[in-house]
Amino acid sequence: MSGFITRLWALAKKEVLHMARDPQVILLALGMPLLLVVLFGYAVSFDVEDVPLAVVDQDHSPASRDFAARMDESDAFRIRFRLESEAEAEALFRADKVKAALVIPEGYARSLTRGEPTELQLLMDGADGTTARVAVGYASQMGQLETLRRVQDGLTMSMPLEPRVRTWFNPTMDSAVFVVPGLVAIILAVLSVLLAALTVAREWERGSMEQLFATPVDRLAVVLGKVLPYVALGILQFMLVLAAGAWLFDVPLRGRFVTVLLAVILFLTCSIGQGLLISMVTRNQQVATQVGAVSSILPALLLSGFLFPVENMPLILQVISRIVPARYLISVLRAVLLQGRSITDLGGPFLSLVLLAIALITLTTLKFRRRLD
């Protein structure tokens, strides 16, 4: 037993040396999570601010000035130019002086008072796709609000208008908060599976596995000697992502940190077990990378409840999702981070994670034969 511990410790230490000396691992392990959380976080909650706007007011009425002023008051747009014709706007677009132009046609005020449908035109620079989409979202929202306001003011014939603001591409900050837990699961799943798969495949390819087999080391020590350091690395990644999420998107931590940490450790054990299993079967870095990437990204993305709620999936996928560890991690993270739930409320997901971790490590150890053939 003491021999087991001695060897396990030496194996884990050696693995840490490998990591520390491989700039690629550091970059991948610590750079990628940050990059992803920033990219993803902003992609879902891109707050456009001060988009330079040109106003082509052909109506010259109090109502048209009023609407333009409201655009200016919003955080999204800032009026930079007031023009007479669309053609002038186009020149400004080309010169990259404005990103948007609002055209208020002649007769706008008249149509409003008569309750006729009016049309405002918003021209967008489509080159910056994200900004454009988000800005359009804002603008249409404003258009609706304007209509609504006028309905309420009784200026138009009242038609029951649903006071619902649709935010397609611009879920507010709240959804970044909601996305980060899913992002944590995906980042941890992908990186742990890949890094674990790579390290074992590398030992096969570089021949060190053969030298290792010639020593009295047993397979459980080899497996755990890989699991422990990568769990530690995963915890580091998790804290990094969580910190970035808290800092950039105000992701809260309403429950206890140890609860999420425990779930993360169990989840990492599953993912690393999966990665080790893959590389033991493929024994080749390239194949292991491909199989590892697909088998980690797809389930974590599609079957975890990250993009689609599990309840809405076809039954067969719901059943399969039961063996996707990301599903349980995401539900624990959401429950603890956002709702402040405690571990006693989360017995189900925790039990599932424990069972999956045990199953994967057992399978990996059994599959791992201390032989070259």
Nearer Cβ to other proteins (166/370): 370
Nearer Cβ to other proteins (7/150): 7
Q: Least distance in Å: CB of 286 to other proteins?
A: 19
Indicate whether 1 belongs to the interface with other proteins (CB under 8 A).
Answer: no
d(CA 264, CA 176) in angstroms, rounded, equals 20
What length is written for the chain?
A: 373
Nearer Cβ to other proteins (60/370): 370
Q: Least distance in Å: CB of 230 to other proteins?
A: 17
Indicate whether 367 belongs to the interface with other proteins (CB under 8 A).
Answer: no
Q: Assign 53 to helix, strand or coil.
A: strand
Indicate whether 22 belongs to the interface with other proteins (CB under 8 A).
Answer: yes
87 conformational bin, left if phi > 0, alpha if psi -120 to 50, beta if neither: alpha
- Contact residues for 39 (Cβ-Cβ < 8 A; gap 6+): none
Q: Among 209, 218, 200, 215, which Cα is nearest to 373's?
A: 209
Indicate whether 206 belongs to the interface with other proteins (CB under 8 A).
Answer: yes
- Contact residues for 252 (Cβ-Cβ < 8 A; gap 6+): 177, 246, 337, 338
- Contact residues for 204 (Cβ-Cβ < 8 A; gap 6+): 279, 283, 284
Q: Least distance in Å: CB of 312 to other proteins?
A: 48
Nearer Cβ to other proteins (149/206): 206
Q: Least distance in Å: CB of 373 to other proteins?
A: 5
Q: Which of 6, 24, 158, 342 touches other proteins (CB under 8 A)?
A: 6
Between the alpha carbon of residue 268 and those of residues 49, 256, 299, 330, the distances in Å are 39, 19, 15, 13
Q: Assign 69 to helix, strand or coil.
A: helix
Indicate whether 14 belongs to the interface with other proteins (CB under 8 A).
Answer: yes
Strands 51-57 and 100-104: parallel
Indicate whether 7 belongs to the interface with other proteins (CB under 8 A).
Answer: yes
Q: Least distance in Å: CB of 234 to other proteins?
A: 21
The DSSP 8-state label assigned to residue 28 in this structure reads: I
Q: Which of 1, 21, 159, 314 touches other proteins (CB under 8 A)?
A: 21
Beta-bridge mates of residue 100: 53, 124
Q: Among 117, 182, 184, 179, which Cα is nearest to 147's?
A: 117
Nearer Cβ to other proteins (6/113): 6
Nearer Cβ to other proteins (216/309): 216
Contact positions with other proteins (CB under 8 A) in 210-239 = 210-218
Q: Which of 126, 129, 207, 348 touches other proteins (CB under 8 A)?
A: 207
d(CA 90, CA 100) in angstroms, rounded, equals 10
Q: Least distance in Å: CB of 210 to other proteins?
A: 5
Cβ atoms 37, 85 nearer than 8 A: no
Strands 77-83 and 51-57: parallel
Q: Least distance in Å: CB of 362 to other proteins?
A: 17
Q: Least distance in Å: CB of 370 to other proteins?
A: 7
Q: Least distance in Å: CB of 366 to other proteins?
A: 14
| Residue 166, token pair as written in the block | 């649709």
Maximum alpha-carbon separation in the chain: 91
Indicate whether 10 belongs to the interface with other proteins (CB under 8 A).
Answer: yes
Indicate whether 27 belongs to the interface with other proteins (CB under 8 A).
Answer: no
Q: Which stretch binds other proteins (CB under 8 A): 13-21, 226-234, 242-250, 303-311?
A: 13-21
Q: Residues in the site for other proteins, rule: CB under 8 A? A: 3, 6-7, 9-10, 13-14, 17-18, 21-22, 206-208, 210-218, 370-373
